[in-house]
Amino acid sequence: MLSKRIILSGFLLNLLLAACGPTEDPKYRAEIANHRAALNEQFFDPERTPLDSASFYTWQGLKFFPIQEKYKVKAILTPINNSPVFELLHSHQKTKPYKQYGKVRFELNGQNYELMVLEQELKKPGYENYLIIPFTDETTGNETYGAGRYLDLEKSEAKEVWLDFNLAYNPYCAYNQAYTCPIPPKENYLQLKVEAGMKYTQNTH
C-alpha cells in the first residue's frame, strides 16, 4: 500500500507540474505542486481521508486549476478591533460563533478587491492563530464548489500579508455530508473568475 501511494504521489506531482504556467518560478511551482500532491495522498489514504466509505472506492482525485503566480497577491490587512461575536451560517442550517478579525485589500487583474477575514470564537487546541477567508467568485457553482472555497491565514502583526489563491481549497463538506462547514458571507463575493486553486466537478468523486 505504501509503495503504491509513493508511486501515485510521484505521478500526481509530475502531472501538477506539467499543468503549471510556463512563466512561473520553478521553486514556487514545485512548492504548490508538492502541496497538491500531499492533499491528494491524504484523500487516497483510508486512514486520513475525509471521504465517506461509499465515495472512497470511486474517488478519482482532486482537481485543480493550473498554477498561475499572478494569483499570489500581496494584501493590506486592516484589523477590526473589539469586533462583536456573531453566528456564521454553516452547512446543514447550523451556525457557529465567529468574529470579524479584519479586512484584506488587494489588487487582482488590475482591479481592487476586499475580503473579510474571520476568526472562530471556539477554537480547537493548536488552532489559536488560525484565521479563515471563506469566499465565492464567478467560478462558484460552475468550475468550483457551489458553497464557496477557503483561504487560510495566521495571526500576524504584519500590515501586509500574502493571499495565494493557488491554495484555495474546498471544505470537507464538499466530499462528505458528515462535516459542517462555514458558508462564505455575502460581502466575500469576488466579482471575477478566480481560476486558481481547487476545482469541483462531477467527476471528483
169 and 122 co-located in one domain: yes
Asked, for residue 151, whether it belongs to a domain, the answer is yes
Q: For 33-70, what is each residue's pLDDT tens digit? A: 999 999 999 999 999 999 998 899 999 999 999 999 99
* Structural domain span for residue 14: 2-56
123 secondary structure, DSSP code: P
Asked, for residue 166, whether it belongs to a domain, the answer is yes
Asked, for residue 63, whether it belongs to a domain, the answer is no
Residue 124 pLDDT class (50, 70, 90 cuts)? confident
Q: Which helix (H) or strand (E) holds 74?
A: strand 72-79
What is the pTM (predicted TM-score) of this model?
Answer: 0.86
Locate 8 and state its grid cell. Answer: 501515485
Residue 203 pLDDT class (50, 70, 90 cuts)? very low
Query: Residue 15: pLDDT above 70?
Result: no
Q: Where do runs of H (alpha helix) occur along 19-138? A: 26-44, 53-56
User: Which of 12, 35, 56 is where one domain is finished?
Assistant: 56
**Amino acid 3: pLDDT:** 43
87 and 50 co-located in one domain: no
